[in-house]
Amino acid sequence: MAARADSSSFRVGLIQARASADPAENLAKAEERIAEAALGGAQIICLQELFRSEYFCREERAELFDLAEPVPGPTTERLARLARELKVAIVASLFERRAAGLYHNTAAVLNPDGELAGIYRKMHIPEDPLYFEKFYFTPGDLGYRAFDTPFARIGVLVCWDQWYPEAARLTAMEGAEILFYPTAIGWHPKEKEQYGAAQADAWRTIQRGHAIANGVYVAAVNRVGYEGTADSGLEFWGGSFVADPFGVLLAEASRENEEVLVVECDRRRIEDVRRNWPFFRDRRIDSFGGITLRWAGR
């Protein structure tokens, strides 16, 4: 593990945006917003899940595999140039073409020198109405990872991963000081009135729980806007946020608007919380063998 920066704090930028049907337009917008975040002092900047396109997993169409690209590839090359120019680290969620017929939902971490610090491949792949991800993505095979940047050691998980405490715990155990969750989550319009508030609250609550349980910062980066037809679409609920190591919300974006959040994270807060709430000290690791079973040994 490389030594982190000596600074007592680091600043993160979250890019919450709408997506159009034009990947080139989305990439150009992302570059503009990254520059805006850097101008605001952000050092590690995270884009939303699959930022180059609309959330195409709303439907199963083989031609949409054409949206995929290798990693590293054209998009990481462009973002690497921008990272070098702005002297920032960038977390970019991409549709990775690994080989013919083999695709992943992948987050690339680019350092300020333009080098690829590494990739994380989404481990948990959902299959729900309008979230047909199993049609497109092979589950990740790299495990849970943390990446060194000059500013902080970061963990990256992707969207559906955010519901799994095991993923957060294992990534925190890799030394991550902050967990980034590039996300594309929204409401089914017919469900919004009855379930919408509770769904969004559960999403925020469980991630704040990961921050508390692991004594780390958490940054969730969602998209906004309606995508799809009137009868078959998703309204992405935004609400991107940063929580501190005790789950306190430091900043939260709106439900409807494109926004750039820049938030300072004091790493001394990690030390303070873990000293007073020493969950890692008190873990009974000798009793956890059952966690690798599907269901109570049966």
Q: Which residues are catalytic?
A: 49, 122, 159
Task: Say if CB 19 and CB 54 are below 8 A apart.
Answer: yes
- Beta-carbon neighbour count of residue 118 at 10 Å? 16
Distance CA 226, CA 241 (A): 20
Give 94's contacts (C-beta < 8 A, 6+ positions apart): 50, 52, 69, 71, 75, 76, 106, 107, 108
**Helices (H), strands (E): how many in the chain?**
6, 17
Distance CA 46, CA 158 (A): 11
23 Cα distance to chain centroid = 19
SS3 297: coil
